[in-house]
Structure 1
Amino acid sequence: MLKIDQLELGPIQTNCYIISDDQKNCLIFDPGEESKKIEALVKKKNLKPIAILLTHAHFDHIGAVDDIRERYSVPVYLHHLEKDWLSRPNLNGSGKYATLPDYRMKDADVLLTDEKTLEIGSFKMDIFHTPGHSPGSVSFSFGKEGFAIVGDVIFRGSIGRTDLIDGSEKRLLQSIEESILPLPKHMILYPGHGPETTPDQELNSNPFLKVFKQ
């Protein structure tokens, strides 16, 4: 059975998820900032990171990527449509804010291209391309374990913003309709910000999804 640890990192309190198996191997999702906090949790739990996976490449999800990658010598996975975003502040959004430094990370080691089943060590997950918040947003579903990492596609009572580079509310709602709502209704959705939710809860209470109940 997999275990999930959550850290809220950086100025926007981005959720970083650390998923570990019985052998203490772990995957790190969206290390957005504050690498020392991630390292402290890994050490406390005696975990061994084997990969970093990014739901997308906005600055608040990538700030600690290089620190963690170099600390543990692990590969970074990212959708190919955002392959240039890690190193370009104008794309990852950090260049939009004068109060932020320019975020420039090294390229991803593995580019995801298709919706498929991905296996890393003992971890097995289904990848869904869920664009709209950003062109390369992906969600990772651990069906047997009953949860999914959904990034900024959907939140409890809300959806991801669509006013950034290549964002589209129409495409985002389509992604939610085609990839998120068909998941088991009580599957736990772990978003990029805020508390977890479920497809059933959002279908019945999220004001942005009223169109799907008509």
Structure 2
Amino acid sequence: MSQTAPTPPLKAAILPVTPLQQNCSLIWCTATNKAALVDPGGDLDMLKANVAKAGVDLQKILVTHGHIDHCGEAGVLAKELGLPIEGPHEADRFWISRLDDDGRKYSINGQVFEPDRWLQDGDTVTVGELTLQVIHCPGHTPGHVVFFHEPSRFAIVGDVLFQGSIGRTDFPMGNHQDLLDAITHKLWPLGEDITFIPGHGPVSTFGQERKTNPFVGDHAMGVA
């Protein structure tokens, strides 16, 4: 008789938002049904409809970094639903302070907000009974953070790393070497089996990127 596979502690759904098709993630704790939206940059009606469809209890908003496609409407949603915002690192205050101006520039609704909690490297955030580690990964922006759930071997990396690419560093306060160092010194040591949701495009694993990524793969970095 076949055995039913155990329910994973964390489930996630990818909900692309804004004309830039940014991967907002809905994550939830299967034990408690408590949920968080990570990087709700826009399309709030669609996001709220998907939360309702999933039947989960939205508890908070998490933000990886201050670019408008990731957090332009995070403050709007937080205010409407009475939710706290956690993240990013305070070094991204520069970007969050520009959201109104960047909204006009990119024709995306953006509204300046103040997170309830700025995050630092080594912090943790909770969603129901889940505890996610906070990893500060500057380079794309100075205050970018990654959320890592060790028991699930799962990470939400924002615009640090993509399938086959890495985040842009030509924006104000970007730093290419910082980004390379963050990926190779902070993410790779977590393990090749880590599945990650990037800020744009398809899901991948750290192992796949170490093998094939032309920017930070082992071959590109001169690792034997």
Q: Is this a same-fold pair by TM over 0.5?
A: yes
Residues 148-169 of structure 1, C-alpha deviations (whole Å, 9 max, x = no match): 0000000000000000111011
Partner of 1:199: 206
In the superposition, relative to structure 1, how do residues 155 and 73 fare at CA in structure 2: closer, same or farther (>3 Å)?
same
Q: CA deviation at 1:101?
A: 5.4
**Mapping of residues 1-214 of structure 1, within 5 Å:** 1-22=9-30, 23-78=32-87, 79-89=89-99, 94=102, 98-100=105-107, 103-209=110-216, 210-214=220-224
Q: TM-score, normalised by structure 1?
A: 0.92
Mapped contact 2:76–2:111 kept (Cα < 8 A)? no
Number of equivalent positions: 211
| Maintained 8 Å contact 2:192/2:206 | yes
Q: Distance in 2 between matches of 1:99 and 1:177?
A: 32
CA offset digits 1:58-105 (Å, max 9, x no partner): 011012212321232111112111234323248xx816x745257232
Q: Distance in 2 between matches of 1:211 and 1:204?
A: 11
Identity of aligned residues (%): 35
Write the letter of the residue equivalent to 2:43.
E
Asked if 1 retains the 8 angstrom alpha-carbon contact of 2:120 and 2:135, the reply is no
Could you say if the C-alpha distance between residues 8 and 213 of structure 1 is closer, same or farther in structure 2, counting changes exceeding 3 Å? same
SS at match of 2:147: strand
Q: Is the 8 A contact 2:99 2:112 kept in 1?
A: no
What stretches of structure 1 of length at least 5 have no aligned partner? none
Backbone CA RMSD of aligned residues: 1.8
Alignment TM-score, normalising by the size of structure 2: 0.88
Contact in 2 for aligned 1:77/1:109 (Cα 8 Å): yes
Q: Matched residues in 2 for 1:102 and 1:117: separation?
A: 30
Confirm or deny: 8 A CA contact 1:65 1:105 kept in the other structure.
no
Query: Could you tell me whether the CA contact under 8 Å between 1:86 and 1:103 is conserved in 2?
Result: no
